[in-house]
Structure 1
């Protein structure tokens, strides 16, 4: 009689093709080793709704945002910034992705299209550290409220052209995100989308600088063109119906223009488009359409439950349990929008809170939808544009031992980092460490499926069980799995019981 093996609500019956391995100081499984594949610098590409690596495996990204919003717009090589120990910390905890803030203001601070070598070197230092730990990188032209004079960041000084009649008085500086709603900032964005004074061309030129510099960057996963684009004076319409005309007349034409400019330099890496800002915090449709001839698009989307935002502002009436419905809605919408535009989706911002239940909900719902993500944020870095200053993972950015443990326990997960086939279902219980994953193997892919095993959920060690496959290698916290048939493979990890 073959016993049942239940994990996190997902119960299967162990079959004759199952292999059992107990890992973490007790019995081990067959130890056949896989050969190393030599090829071009690894980068991610889009294949249907998935990100795939050079071996053809589906990659699910669990990463963090690294956006340094204050001058010089890149983290210093200090304990307060980003060092080799930070990159090692990320890899050790299973974070295989980073969304890094390569700001327009840093790329071309002095003139349109004139790159700043010192800024490129500052980020190259960080990229080299991340690539050394095999961490995928999305380059993010981050902006909030346009520029420092409005209480934000993102655009260079030369791109600040104050419109009349507002330029007759000092600029209004309002707290983030309400600073967007001021008439002057909204007019600035209207002028940007209209390419008044060549501002849109200047932004495109900054992306040409970035593409020339980093098109061959190892572990690149592409270019996120603009963070949370603000549609200007029609923002109230965006809040009501998602402002479809703004997509057709302003946002998509601008993103296509930047994409075409990048394609003249880099034909292979993914170009990521973001919906208008309110789409991240409301149940709103988005209206991107296919770009003719473009096959490497990404949908970089954000998920910020409004109930958590209300809590962060001290406004009563929010209930974090409403976030389950919100998160499921946003996941389904992102998958649908990605299909509509022929893109791969990535939840590139979410979290930005110490509300543990909210983080747990978003992470669990992302697993159910097999969605990759980059959480906001790794370190707080004295963020000037935040609705909640409880964003980083540490109580003190200088000291990695001050990590917020309850928060970390929800973010560090056992999960499938690379799948030689098609992912079907993934579940992880952050309370018990129980993990279950199903995928349909592709026997044409010789590289193994790799599962990262959390270092913080199995104090007594863990047991691995594989149906229709076997663990062929253990490398640190990575389990390499190969199928033993053409049947669906199931991988389960549970905490070892004494």
Structure 2
């Protein structure tokens, strides 16, 4: 059934039953995001939550369009409620020779970012690698061979990614030389090359809308020191080696882009649950922590990263999790992320390049899993207090305070809360009960919009199936 417009404007509790339309969900209202502590925010002072996917094409020529990603795939992601993509590129392709940049390659990454932006999808531009280079046991060459220095040590034993990290002398010697800032063939340190490369890339995105920011390096590996990181983490490596390295990239990017967020990463060992000691490398006020969740058993990954971000006052985003088609596990992880109220980006099994799983085409359905499509508050005009979703009953609940997350920046008077409601969860429409607010979206809207009632301090929302 539908309700009359006069009832939709009522204050206090409102009950709606709405059918879902098939058009793409409305784009977020602002193209540039900031943060207040660990929360992402927009220019209206709202808290923004991202549900996203990774998009990294690991086969030459290393850009998604070459693998088949196009307009229909961006539409597919938007239709399924995804408002973020971690968009990977290969340093190997950006800088094929020391100091020589392939601007045509960078333009391919830019074009994919622009395509995603047309659908209101934020891109986290990501310098991606997995085990450095094929010459030292990687399944693809994210980093260039000219920056790879194994010093004649053997690649074997090499059981394939990711176990090669633990077994290959060439792999670990290469990382050791990278952290020592070994000179490239032109006499310039590899870390200086890396920072300059980042500045060259970032200048192409500096003024573009729907760029979330820059993920400085994917899953940095400690090299020979990795045994000291288990089980208690890598404080000396993260503070004394990794932070200064990422500081170089941050400073270089800030020469060309003062606006977008800079996301740094802790050691790869954090992916498996070791404690996180990674500080904000430069103390940049517009920084974020990009961290991954591949914990096995007790899931400490979420809290480790979130606690670190809160301590340093930086934005927090889980930029990888999944790499499985186990629907029960994915549901448990998504529930855990809801409990912690964190933004996340899924890593699909189809993107793996492991001995038994070569990468599949990076098209929309291959980038996501139906188990992770769920209701969530894309924008909260206030301070989130709790939300959760019961996959069995279809009940979604949200509580938030009307006051803004940043005491020094009130929420805009006309700001509305937006909740994405997927048709897969509500095939026959949905009912909405609101206390402390009013539904202002149109009947049939996939993006439920709520305004806080005057004088109300808290808003409670419950969505159920009819």
**Which TM bucket (shorter chain)?**
0.7 to 0.9
User: Displacement, 1:454?
Assistant: 1.1
Cα separation, 2, equivalents of 1:399 and 1:441 = 36
1:128 matched to 2:114? The reply is yes
Equivalent residue number for residue 259 of structure 1:
250
Partner of 1:339, secondary structure, is helix
User: Displacement, 1:16?
Assistant: 7.2
User: Displacement, 1:333?
Assistant: 1.7
User: Displacement, 1:397?
Assistant: 6.2
Cα separation, 1, equivalents of 2:77 and 2:163 = 33
Equivalent residue number for residue 12 of structure 2:
17
Change (3 A) 1:264 1:252: same
Equivalent residue number for residue 350 of structure 1:
321
1:434-458 alpha-carbon deviations (Å, 9 max, x no partner): 1001111247322211110111011
1:356-399 alpha-carbon deviations (Å, 9 max, x no partner): 1110111000001001000002x725x42x3774997xxx8679
Equivalent residue number for residue 313 of structure 1:
none
200, 204, 207: which one aligns with 2:191 = 200
User: Displacement, 1:192?
Assistant: 0.6
Change (3 A) 1:337 1:441: same
Structure 2 unmatched runs, 5+? 1-9, 184-188, 404-409
Q: How many residues are paired up?
A: 435
1:307-334 alpha-carbon deviations (Å, 9 max, x no partner): xxxxxxxxxxxxxxx4xxx23x322222
Partner of 1:134, secondary structure, is coil
Equivalent residue number for residue 70 of structure 2:
83
Aligned pairs (5 A) from 1:101-250: 101-112=88-99, 114-149=100-135, 150-152=137-139, 153-163=141-151, 165-166=152-153, 173-181=158-166, 182-197=168-183, 198-250=189-241
- TM normalised by structure 2 equals 0.87
Change (3 A) 1:258 1:144: same
Aligned pairs (5 A) from 1:457-468: 457-468=425-436
Partner of 1:473, secondary structure, is coil
The 8 Å contact of residues 440 and 450 in structure 2, kept in 1 or not, is answered as yes
Equivalent residue number for residue 80 of structure 2:
93
User: Displacement, 1:24?
Assistant: 0.5
User: Displacement, 1:126?
Assistant: 1.1
Structure 1 unmatched runs, 5+? 1-14, 27-33, 307-321
Change (3 A) 1:47 1:388: farther
User: Displacement, 1:266?
Assistant: 1.4
Cα separation, 1, equivalents of 2:49 and 2:109 = 24
User: Displacement, 1:21?
Assistant: 1.8
Equivalent residue number for residue 73 of structure 1:
62
Equivalent residue number for residue 450 of structure 2:
481
Change (3 A) 1:224 1:292: closer
Change (3 A) 1:388 1:95: farther
The 8 Å contact of residues 175 and 223 in structure 2, kept in 1 or not, is answered as yes
Cα separation, 1, equivalents of 2:190 and 2:235 = 23
Cα separation, 2, equivalents of 1:211 and 1:403 = 25
- TM normalised by structure 1 equals 0.82
Equivalent residue number for residue 336 of structure 1:
307
